[in-house]
């Protein structure tokens, strides 16, 4: 079988890191052939075309076809998986409302183009920031496509949180499970360790032995470190997260398509779960079952955790109000 995958912003950094992982079979496994559509704006076409030449030179057995375009109708034609990476970055002096407006001008038309051209079972993953609200705008513009097919990437935040916890505990990262991100992919996000396990056991006691006062450690060390990891990478590397963001995108889409054996995190549409207002695209603990994300329900939230979730959801609501006032919803 062959899957058609569209990557917007394919001429950018994350796009470049994603393309070769996908062509190598990291997303859909060693049996599934892929057809890639690289959608760019005119200024980015050269970089995307160069990447396409390199893909050719990679001689990937699974790569059936690569097409580079700046026409959304062509870019999303028959697509099964749309990875919306290209976005308008925040410029100097740009207010948050300006940023939301500029991105609304990208994600609204892309949502409409997906509805008009993509395969009927299309799954959309928004990476470009502000990812949750961009996904909301795209979903609202995609008449006839269920909102459940539009998701925002928060897996990088979860991977960062699991890695920090593993490092603190001195255990391999794969043994750390159930560290969901709640809310917005922003500084207000809430990486939640209340249900986390290490090797199948709750982390509580082991963590207390190492860090002492766990609540203080969460407030002062863990949560700020995870939420500000992007800034830390920029400071150390001199450039934003690229390969880790591409890797998290692969994790998200692979799990969505192939299923999960435990919880993970994704920005998905709320139907009112945990009191998150209906229609918002918020990060939740999720499982993927039969190709669909399901929110893990019934988890206890302490008053402290509740206030953290509420603060991030309040930010999402504010973003929704701003884009509504701009006429983008
Ligand atoms: P780059 O600036 O390297 O690449 C962006 C590319 O998008 C450029 O080639 C540009 O020409 C293209 N583009 C812009 N508007 C477009 C449009 N309307 N249609 C198609 N292509 C368009 O940025 P990069 O480092 O690749 O980051 C991409 C996005 O990911 C940014 O918005 C960034 O903030 C976001 N991130 C999101 C993360 C997440 O966890 N959700 C983490 C990583 C990253 O920060």
Which of 248, 232, 223, 312 lies closest to 274, judged by CA? Answer: 312
Of 10, 43, 103, 127, best ligand 1 pocket probe by most atoms within 8 Å of the beta carbon: 127
Please give all residues whose beta carbon lies within 6 A of any atom in ligand 1, as ranges: 8-9, 11-15, 39-41, 43-44, 47, 85-87, 89, 106, 127-129, 131, 153, 156, 185, 230, 240-242, 245
- Looking at the structure, do residues 196 and 112 belong to the same domain, yes or no? no
pLDDT digits (tens, 9 = 90+) for 188-221: 999 999 999 999 999 988 999 999 999 999 999 9
- Looking at the structure, do residues 232 and 279 belong to the same domain, yes or no? yes
- Looking at the structure, do residues 162 and 297 belong to the same domain, yes or no? yes
pLDDT digits (tens, 9 = 90+) for 2-45: 999 999 999 999 999 999 999 999 999 999 999 999 999 999 99
Residue 328 lies in a domain: no
pTM given for the model: 0.98
Q: Is it the case that residue 227 has pLDDT exceeding 90? A: yes
The share of the chain scoring above pLDDT 70, in percent, equals 100
- Looking at the structure, do residues 263 and 135 belong to the same domain, yes or no? no
Would you state the structure tokens that stand for residue 249, as one six-digit string? 């995108």
- Looking at the structure, do residues 57 and 111 belong to the same domain, yes or no? yes
Integer Rg of the chain from CA: 19
Mapped onto helix, strand or coil, the DSSP state of residue 93 is coil
Residue 17 is classified by DSSP as H
Per the annotation, the verdict on 65 as an active-site residue is: no
Residue 326 lies in a domain: no
- Looking at the structure, do residues 131 and 170 belong to the same domain, yes or no? no
Which of 80, 91, 87 lies closest to 107, judged by CA? Answer: 87
Whole-number Å distance between alpha carbons of 97 and 87: 15
Question: What integer best gives the mean pLDDT of the chain?
Answer: 97
Domain count, the chain: 2
Q: What is the CATH number of the domain that holds 109?
A: 3.40.50.720
pLDDT digits (tens, 9 = 90+) for 69-78: 999 999 999 9
Task: Tell me, in angstroms, the distance from the centre of ligand 1 to residue 9's CA.
Answer: 6
- Looking at the structure, do residues 174 and 64 belong to the same domain, yes or no? no
Residue 100 lies in a domain: yes
Residue nearest to atom 32 of ligand 1 (CA): 128
Is the Cβ–Cβ distance between 124 and 151 less than 8 Å? yes
pLDDT digits (tens, 9 = 90+) for 298-327: 999 999 999 999 999 999 999 999 999 999
Residue 325 lies in a domain: no
Residue 252 lies in a domain: yes
Half-sphere exposure of residue 86, counting CA atoms within 13 Å on the CB side? 26
Q: What is the CATH number of the domain that holds 179?
A: 3.90.110.10
Whole-number Å distance between alpha carbons of 287 and 53: 37
- Looking at the structure, do residues 162 and 310 belong to the same domain, yes or no? yes
- Looking at the structure, do residues 17 and 147 belong to the same domain, yes or no? yes
- The last residue of one of the domains, among 152, 175, 200, is 152
Would you say the C-alpha torsion 147, 144, 252, 288 has a positive or negative sign?
A: positive
Q: Could you tell me the residue range of the domain that residue 38 belongs to?
A: 2-152
- Looking at the structure, do residues 20 and 114 belong to the same domain, yes or no? yes
- The last residue of one of the domains, among 152, 178, 201, is 152
Residue 327 lies in a domain: no
- The last residue of one of the domains, among 103, 120, 152, is 152
- Looking at the structure, do residues 62 and 196 belong to the same domain, yes or no? no
Which of 210, 119, 184 lies closest to 320, judged by CA? Answer: 184
> What is the DSSP secondary-structure string of 248-317?
HHHHHHHHHHH--SS-EEEEEE-SSGGGPPTT-EEEEEEEEETTEEEEPP-----HHHHHHHHHHHHHHH
Residue 49 lies in a domain: yes
Would you state the structure tokens that stand for residue 120, as one six-digit string? 């009927």
- Looking at the structure, do residues 255 and 142 belong to the same domain, yes or no? no
Closest ligand 1 atom number to CA of residue 44: 11
Q: Provide mean pLDDT across the span 117-126.
A: 98
């Amino acid at each position: 079988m062959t899957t058609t995958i569209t990557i917007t912003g394919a001429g950018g950094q994350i796009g470049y890191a994603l393309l070769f992982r996908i062509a190598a079979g990291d997303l859909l496994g060693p049996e599934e052939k892929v057809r890639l559509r690289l959608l760019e704006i005119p200024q980015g076409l050269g970089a995307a075309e160069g990447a396409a030449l390199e893909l050719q030179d990679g001689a990937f057995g699974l790569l059936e076809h690569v097409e580079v375009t700046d026409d959304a109708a062509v870019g999303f034609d028959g697509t099964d998986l749309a990875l919306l990476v290209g976005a308008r970055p925040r410029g100097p002096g740009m207010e948050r409302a300006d940023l939301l407006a500029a991105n609304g001008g990208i994600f609204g038309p892309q949502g409409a183009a997906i509805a008009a051209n993509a395969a009927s079972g299309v799954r959309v993953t928004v990476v470009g920031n502000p990812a949750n609200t961009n996904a909301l705008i795209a979903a609202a513009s995609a008449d006839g496509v269920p909102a459940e097919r539009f998701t925002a990437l928060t897996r990088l935040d979860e991977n960062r949180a699991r890695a920090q916890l593993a490092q603190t505990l001195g255990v391999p990262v794969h043994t750390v499970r159930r560290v969901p991100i709640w809310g917005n992919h922003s500084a207000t996000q809430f990486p939640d360790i209340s249900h986390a396990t290490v090797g199948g056991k709750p982390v509580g006691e082991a963590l207390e032995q190492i860090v002492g006062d766990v609540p203080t450690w969460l407030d002062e060390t863990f949560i700020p470190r995870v939420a500000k990891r992007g800034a830390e990478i920029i400071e150390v590397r001199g450039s934003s997260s690229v390969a880790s963001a591409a890797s998290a995108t692969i994790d998200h889409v692979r799990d969505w398509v192939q299923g999960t054996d435990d919880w993970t995190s994704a920005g998905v549409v709320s139907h009112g779960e945990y009191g998150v207002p209906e229609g918002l695209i918020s990060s939740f603990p999720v499982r993927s079952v039969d190709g669909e994300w399901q929110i893990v329900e019934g988890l206890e939230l302490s008053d402290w955790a509740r206030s953290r979730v509420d603060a991030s959801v309040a930010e999402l609501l504010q973003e929704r109000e701003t884009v509504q006032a701009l006429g983008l919803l």
